[in-house]
């Protein structure tokens, strides 16, 4: 991260701290050294243990001093808060975030008090530390301090130097480039050194069994397992865009069982990013869309949240992530062939089946959203849990994925075991807590029934602040976003004046199922052929005369078109989110006398 960007970020965090102080009312203030007690709630501690009814949580300063049943002792002068009838869970952890400062309020409002940033942006220690303060209006930021620049040509000595320098930046875990056969040896050397430092390795992989053997601790996304199940020819064809979705290859159950068994035996974690990859294929998609729509009706939030990102969040819930050349990368369900639509649903079903088997084999899943790639933050983690339950995980397992299991990962491979500082309700952990009005083990959707959020022993003021922050333009697109199209040719490229309605083929790149051709800025009926071709019906009125003609000049009378032809401007428009208008290309309209003479 550049020095200028770093200074801007630190300045913003300072403003966030002040905003936090300004928003804290008397009910949120805890005197220095005072003990606060939350009493009477059912405690779900994030470890997977049975819930504790009538629980007591004793908090001193930023940390939990004691947790226990109703007879747990606490000082007589403690500030006691009656939480009878409530359910208290740990502050949630989103383990896969490409954090931007203007997302902080969204995370806190949905009980996400900690996030992990795998490589982008880097978030050096000086940029992370302000987020740990209880009064900071942002989640705690854990980071890889950038992505280790592994490449297959490095020597072992170069790898040692690289890791040694990286460790001086105090990373919380490691993010490596995507594993493949070209960097396998260097990847393994790097993972060994990261493990010696007591940290975990996180990242993409093109071959999950291979990367797990090389030392990868967290498999990011599911496609690395799907690709490992493809034949050489299938993999080549997938690379060429011949298949709709990699999830369709998660079918060989005998091989899948062995892959899972081997990975779980090595203690590997799985980060499926369900909402980001498959959020539109769940039966919950329409409910999620309504929730997202209602969230973005908040005027204070929308005073700073980018509108195109909000539009993108809604669009992603109506579109499939496509990997074939038949459609664009993010294809609206409305343009899909019905048979193709069913294949996308099959891909989601197979992914869910894989997750269920993973956990049944003793594997751990971490909840990580890849936000803001989905166009939102905070709420996405609750949607992620709901999709896990839909896939067959228990509600407790889904909750563990964003609490205790993620906490254990952040604890790393340290040689001396210790209690995680976040993600659990335990003696010595940070007092990051979420007070719920209903039991999440009855319905995972109850994790959204948030009544209070505590970070570091202080209750967070819920709601949004109009002056909270503003994103940079480059930070405001979903992934993959709707592209801006470009035109390279039209066929035919000329037509005789007076022609009846006719059809043209427009060639170029960046076309989507909803692309619309415009003729002199007027939309005309358009048919999507593929991502490089659309066809459009040109009305006779657009070419009825070869006039006006900008090449005609005053002087002796001559026929129209001697020096040049009238042109009609052809463009293509991709609607929001993002998208835009293409360059223009000219359709020539030649005078009838010229056509007759040529004939």
The pLDDT of residue 417? 61
The pLDDT of residue 134? 95
Q: What is the pLDDT of residues 183-227, one digit of tens each?
A: 999 999 999 999 999 999 999 999 999 999 999 999 999 999 999
Mean pLDDT over 404-431 rounds to: 87
CB 104 within 8 A of CB 137: yes
The pLDDT of residue 126? 86
Q: What is the pLDDT of residues 146-159, one digit of tens each?
A: 999 999 999 999 99
The pLDDT of residue 413? 81
Q: Is the pLDDT of residue 292 over 50?
A: yes
Q: What angle do CA 583, 585, 590 make, to 5 degrees?
A: 160
Percent of the chain exceeding pLDDT 70 equals 93
414 versus 61: the higher-pLDDT residue is 61
Q: How far apart are CA 532 and CA 568, in angstroms?
A: 21
The pLDDT of residue 120? 75
The pLDDT of residue 21? 31
Q: What is the pLDDT of residues 212-266, one digit of tens each?
A: 999 999 999 999 999 999 999 999 999 999 999 999 999 999 999 999 999 999 9
Q: Is the pLDDT of residue 172 over 90?
A: yes
The count of C-alpha atoms lying within 13 angstroms of the C-alpha of 548, restricted to the half-sphere facing its C-beta, is: 2
**Looking at the chain, how many residues does it have?**
599
The pLDDT of residue 282? 97
Q: Is the pLDDT of residue 490 over 60?
A: yes
The pLDDT of residue 597? 82
The pLDDT of residue 6? 47
When pLDDT is cut at 50, 70 and 90, the band that residue 30 belongs to is low
Q: Is the pLDDT of residue 2 over 50?
A: no
Q: What angle do CA 469, 101, 19 make, to 5 degrees?
A: 55
Q: What is the pLDDT of residues 128-149, one digit of tens each?
A: 999 999 999 999 999 999 999 9
Instruction: Calculate the average pLDDT of the chain.
Output: 92
Q: Best-predicted range by mean pLDDT among 9-23, 367-381, 414-428? A: 367-381
CB 584 within 8 A of CB 569: yes
The pLDDT of residue 414? 75
Name the residue with tokens 């051709």.
Answer: 517
Q: Is the pLDDT of residue 11 over 60?
A: no
Q: What angle do CA 194, 198, 200 make, to 5 degrees?
A: 60
Mean pLDDT over 393-421 rounds to: 88
Q: Is the pLDDT of residue 334 over 50?
A: yes
The pLDDT of residue 558? 86
The pLDDT of residue 32? 57
Mean pLDDT over 394-403 rounds to: 98
Pick the range with the lowest mean pLDDT from 270-274, 385-389, 581-585, 593-597. Answer: 593-597
Hey, what domains does the chain have and what are their CATH numbers? 95-116+139-409 (3.20.20.140), 486-598 (2.60.40.10)
Which string of b and e fits 579-595 if b means at least 16 CB within 10 Å? beebebbebbbbbeebb
Q: How far is CA 312 from CA 114, 155, 300, 332, in A?
A: 25, 43, 19, 12
Tokens of 70: 């109703």
CB 123 within 8 A of CB 99: yes
Percent of the chain exceeding pLDDT 90 equals 85
């Amino acid at each position: 991260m550049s020095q200028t960007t770093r200074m801007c970020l630190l300045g913003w965090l300072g403003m966030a701290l002040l905003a936090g102080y300004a928003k804290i009312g008397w009910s949120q203030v805890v005197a220095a050294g005072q003990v606060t007690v939350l009493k009477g709630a059912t405690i779900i501690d994030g470890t997977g243990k049975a819930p504790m009814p009538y629980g007591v949580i004793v908090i001193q300063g930023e940390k939990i001093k004691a947790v226990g049943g109703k007879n747990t002792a606490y000082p007589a002068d403690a500030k006691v808060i009656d939480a009878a009838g409530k359910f208290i869970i740990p502050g949630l952890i989103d383990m896969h975030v490409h954090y931007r400062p203007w997302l902080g309020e969204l995370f806190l409002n949905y009980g996400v008090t900690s996030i992990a940033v795998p490589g982008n942006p880097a978030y050096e220690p000086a940029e992370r530390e302000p987020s740990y303060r209880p009064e900071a209006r942002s989640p705690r930021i854990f980071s890889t301090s950038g992505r280790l620049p592994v490449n297959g040509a490095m020597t072992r000595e170069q790898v040692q130097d690289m890791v040694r320098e990286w460790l001086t930046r105090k990373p919380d875990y490691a993010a490596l480039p995507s594993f493949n056969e070209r960097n396998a040896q260097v990847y393994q050397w790097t993972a060994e050194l990261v493990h010696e430092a007591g940290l975990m390795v996180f990242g993409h992989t093109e071959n999950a069994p291979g990367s797990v053997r090389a030392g990868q601790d967290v498999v990011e996304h599911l496609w690395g397992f799907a690709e490992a199940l493809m034949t050489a020819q299938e993999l080549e064809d997938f690379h060429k865009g011949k298949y709709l979705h990699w999830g369709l290859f998660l079918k060989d159950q005998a091989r899948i069982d062995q892959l899972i068994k081997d990975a779980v035996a090595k203690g590997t974690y799985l980060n499926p990013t369900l909402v980001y990859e498959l959020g539109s294929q769940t039966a919950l998609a329409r409910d999620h869309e309504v929730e997202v729509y209602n969230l973005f009706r908040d005027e204070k939030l929308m005073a700073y949240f980018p509108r195109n990102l909000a539009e993108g969040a809604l669009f992603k819930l109506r579109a499939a992530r496509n990997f074939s050349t038949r459609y664009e990368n993010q294809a609206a369900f409305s343009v899909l062939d019905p048979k193709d639509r069913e294949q996308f649903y099959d891909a989601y079903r197979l992914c869910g089946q894989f997750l269920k088997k993973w956990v049944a084999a003793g594997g751990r899943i971490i909840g990580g959203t890849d936000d803001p790639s989905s166009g939102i933050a905070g709420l996405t983690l609750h949607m992620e849990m709901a999709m896990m339950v839909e896939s067959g995980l228990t509600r407790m397992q889904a909750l563990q994925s964003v609490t205790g299991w993620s906490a254990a990962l952040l604890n790393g491979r340290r040689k001396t075991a210790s209690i995680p500082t976040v993600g659990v309700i335990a003696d010595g952990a940070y007092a990051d807590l979420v007070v719920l009005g209903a039991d999440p083990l009855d319905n995972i959707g109850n994790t959204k029934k948030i009544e209070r959020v505590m970070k570091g022993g202080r209750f967070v003021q819920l709601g949004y602040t109009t002056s909270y922050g503003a994103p940079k333009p480059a930070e405001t697109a979903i992934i993959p976003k709707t592209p801006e199209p470009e035109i390279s040719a039209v066929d035919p490229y000329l037509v005789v004046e007076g022609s009846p309605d006719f059809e043209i083929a427009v060639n170029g790149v960046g076309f989507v199922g909803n692309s619309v051709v415009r003729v002199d800025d007027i939309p005309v009926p358009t048919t999507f052929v593929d991502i490089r071709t659309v066809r459009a019906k040109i009305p006779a009125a657009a070419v009825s005369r070869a006039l006006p003609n900008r090449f005609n000049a005053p002087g002796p009378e001559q026929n129209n078109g001697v020096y040049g032809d009238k042109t009609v401007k052809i463009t293509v428009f991709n609607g929001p989110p993002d998208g835009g208008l293409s360059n223009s290309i000219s359709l020539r309209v030649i005078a009838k006398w010229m056509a007759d003479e040529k004939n």
